Amino acid sequence: MKKTVKYTATRPMTERTQAEIKALSELPDNAIDYSDIPPLSDEFWQSAALNPFYKPTKTSTTVRVDSDVLAWLKSQGKGYQTRINAILREAMLHEIKH
């Protein structure tokens, strides 16, 4: 059984903090000073890893699948919907890369 943990702010934001956040959100991108952030090279991205805590949202849907394909997926044990998702994700990532 999963346990849900909820976090709440210990105190509400002050009017000053709310005003600062509002001013920053209205700032155009070209007015942002990036001088203290080093540029990221291609080498950095080649060794980058996916966030291990990322969990995509799920959407319930109805899909018509050939009976033999569904039987094959189910014959491999529990988790056939997870396998369908993994197969589709692999195809999606392959297409994105090429």
pLDDT digits (tens, 9 = 90+) for 63-74: 999 999 999 999
In the numeric block, which tokens belong to residue 78? 């529990």
Which of 56, 61, 58, 83 is CA-nearest to residue 72? 83
Q: Please, what is the Cα angle at 55 between 37 and 76, to 5 degrees?
A: 140
Kindly report the pTM of this predicted structure.
0.49
Domain hosting residue 90, numbered range: 65-98
Phi-psi bin for 7: left (phi > 0), alpha (psi -120 to 50), beta?
Answer: beta
Q: Are 87 and 76 in contact (CB under 8 A)?
A: no
Rg, Å, the chain Cα set: 23
Selection from 84, 82, 85 nearest residue 66 by Cα: 84
pLDDT of residue 1: 61
Q: 26 lies in a domain?
A: no
- Would you state the pLDDT for residue 50? 84
Domain count, the chain: 1
Which regions of the chain are under pLDDT 70? Answer: 1-2, 5, 7-9
